[in-house]
Structure 1
């Protein structure tokens, strides 16, 4: 029988880091108005508006993906923790 090793510390750290990255992406929304207000030329302002709209669409997808991966990491951690606890209980009964 082979041993399975789960690095709970890595799973916990990964979940925390994914939440931190997600928070950073959410807070990036505030810079849009600042940038558009300092751009003077109409053509440049239009190009900046297009870039920001494209960025918003991609940022939303990234936020969704970060949330989904975070849920998967937490689900994996919780499933292995539950299994580990259950196996520990079974081992103590013997």
Structure 2
């Protein structure tokens, strides 16, 4: 954890968050073929049609969620990297002044 005057960055939390977002994204992405499994279990064509509409809507929104989760994960990693770089630069600037 980096500590500045009032700023504290929890790198472990940022790293854990990025890993959890990646796992959630993988799980959502892997649901891609579930719709075929569901349709095969339904007998009546009216039920299949209704479920087909639901599945199509779910697939569209799931894909959007996967993209948004990926973007948030990238933002978390970028934030962590930026703070680490800043922390490193500040530490080096302080060392230069002391010498």
Q: Same fold (TM over 0.5)?
A: yes
- 1:49 matches 2:52: yes
Structure showing greater relative contact order (alpha-carbon pairs closer than 8 Å, 6 or more residues apart): 1
- 1:90 matches 2:93: yes
Partner residue of 1:73?
76
User: CA offsets per residue over residues 5-33 of structure 1, 9 Å max, x none?
Assistant: 00000000000000000000000112111
**RMSD value over aligned CA atoms?**
1.2
**Runs of 4 or more off by more than 4 Å in structure 1?**
none
Can you give the 5+ residue segments of structure 2 that lack an aligned partner in the other structure?
Answer: none
Give me the TM-score of the superposition, normalised by structure 1: 0.95
Match of 1:82, SS state, is helix
Partner residue of 1:25?
28
User: CA offsets per residue over residues 62-92 of structure 1, 9 Å max, x none?
Assistant: 0111011111101100100000010111111
Give me the TM-score of the superposition, normalised by structure 2: 0.90
Q: Give distance in 1, aligned partners of 2:12 and 2:5.
A: 21
